[in-house]
Amino acid sequence: MRDWPTEEQLTDEEIASLRANTLNPIADFFVRADNVNPERTSYLWFPYLVHGNVNILGGKPNTGKTWFICALMTAISSDAQPREMAGTIKQHGCCMYLGGEDGSGVIAERLQTLDGRTDNIILCEKIVDLTGNAFKEIVKQYRPVLIVIDPLTSFMPEGTNVNDPVSAKQFMDKLRDFAREYNTCMLVVVHPPKKPYPDLLDRFMGSGGYVAGARTATFLAYHPADAIKRVAIQPKNNAIDTNPFVFEIDPDAGFIWAGEDSTITEKLLADAERVSGAKGGKLKLYANVMVEVMRINPDGVNMTAREILNQYSRLHEHEIDVKSFGQMLSKDIFAIEMEKAGYKFMIGSRTNNRTRYVCHDSNWGIHNMSVSNDIT
């Protein structure tokens, strides 16, 4: 380690300079690294939620955000973690929910459905100032290990521009400092933009300043291969790579944890979200086209997109664009959609800039399938 000079070893000019620096308003912000206590990343729920920091939760409507929050609070406020819940809860304790949309009665009803410890979960029925002294006193009183803010926009100071990255980051920094000071984990819920951006990090409300100010960002979506299930994936986690996890919304049980699923990728979810959105009817439409063609080719097909549409024309009039159809056939999500219908679908070969697609019944061996006529 370097030996720092004593005052006797310094010149008068150097001493004057050092004394002047003590009056610098930002001088206290700078410190030698050996005078700083090392801190390891602390988790509330390893590896998904970081303690002493801000974490973001997003997703399209009806993907189960509120149910997920209730299930998470139920698990953290109780003494035991559900067996199929992904990750590991590192701290159990009181949870606090600040809601700006769903009333406390809705949250309480869902917590009861999940057999949650409602005596260890605090609900706030009014919009409060998150930086005010009154809220700080409440947090001191209950000492929650988790504070949920749902949605974030309801609790932003009046006049905050959600699309301004500077003000967004400043607000998130205040929440982070609050989480550190009061030794808690903050989970803030944001709405998605109307446009389905291809990058999941862009699918959180407003400015990128909100995502930039969060330690983790979790996105909820429909499972690309199972209409009943939902999936949660983290396009951002500053501490560690995480596996997506799966859950179900059940009419009776309310919420069912279904473990991790490492086969789901951001690209797969982004494709699924895009094709099932405003333009989405195409996924179902094109899958139905393929199913209809399979009915007149029970032994399987090995065809180009144009050949498939030519066969479909024998059954129905249509105005399907062959280029758009071919682009859809090449996506992983289309193969998953066909698998749900009972078929194995894949790219067979690419020759002379033409792609042939192979499809056969799930119970058939691909070696039993004949090849169609020459490319048209």
Shared domain for 339 and 294, answered yes or no, is: yes
Tell me: pLDDT of 26 over 80: no
Give the residue from 220, 240, 264 where a domain finishes: 264
Shared domain for 222 and 115, answered yes or no, is: yes
Shared domain for 343 and 218, answered yes or no, is: no
Domains of the chain: total:
2
Closest CA to 171 of 210, 126, 204: 210
Q: Helices 281-295 and 322-329 meet at what angle, rounded to 10?
A: 90
Shared domain for 254 and 287, answered yes or no, is: no
Q: What is the pLDDT of residue 24?
A: 63
Provide mean pLDDT across the span 135-154: 95
Tell me: pLDDT of 162 over 80: no
Shared domain for 75 and 183, answered yes or no, is: yes
Q: What is the pLDDT of residue 278?
A: 39
C-alpha to C-alpha distances, 16 to 11, 66, 266, nearest whole angstrom: 9, 60, 57
Give the residue from 238, 264, 290 where a domain finishes: 264
Give the residue from 264, 293, 314 where a domain finishes: 264
Answer yes or no: is 14 within a domain: no
Answer yes or no: is 34 within a domain: no
Shared domain for 231 and 336, answered yes or no, is: no
CATH number where 317 lies: 1.10.10
- pLDDT tens profile 181-211: 999 999 999 987 766 666 777 777 666 778 8
* Amino acid occupying residue 226: D
Answer yes or no: is 19 within a domain: no
Answer yes or no: is 29 within a domain: no
- pLDDT tens profile 67-108: 999 999 999 999 999 999 999 999 999 999 999 887 889 899
376 pLDDT band, cuts 50/70/90, is: very low
Shared domain for 252 and 342, answered yes or no, is: no
Shared domain for 242 and 147, answered yes or no, is: yes
Tell me what percent of the residues of the chain surpass a pLDDT of 70: 84
Global confidence as pTM: 0.69
Contact 232, 244 (CB under 8 A): yes
Q: How far is CA 84 from the centre of its chain?
A: 19
CATH number where 137 lies: 3.40.50.300
- The pair of three-digit structure tokens given for residue 56, joined into one six-digit string: 């973001």
Close Cβ partners of 71 (under 8 Å, ≥ 6 residues apart) = 82, 114, 247, 254, 255, 257
Q: What is the pLDDT of residue 9?
A: 67
Contact 299, 281 (CB under 8 A): no
Shared domain for 187 and 63, answered yes or no, is: yes
Answer yes or no: is 179 within a domain: yes
153 pLDDT band, cuts 50/70/90, is: confident
Shared domain for 322 and 240, answered yes or no, is: no
Answer yes or no: is 23 within a domain: no
Q: What is the pLDDT of residue 375?
A: 32
- pLDDT tens profile 260-294: 999 898 887 776 665 554 345 678 788 889 998 99
Answer yes or no: is 158 within a domain: yes
Shared domain for 258 and 319, answered yes or no, is: no
Which residues partner with 255 through β-bridges? 249
- pLDDT tens profile 239-250: 889 999 999 988
**CB neighbour class for 280 (10 Å; exposed up to 12, middle 13-18, buried from 19):** middle
Sign of the torsion formed by the C-alpha atoms of 31, 37, 42 and 47: positive
Shared domain for 71 and 180, answered yes or no, is: yes
Answer yes or no: is 71 within a domain: yes
Provide mean pLDDT across the span 26-30: 69
Domain extent at residue 355? 280-368
Q: What is the pLDDT of residue 328?
A: 87
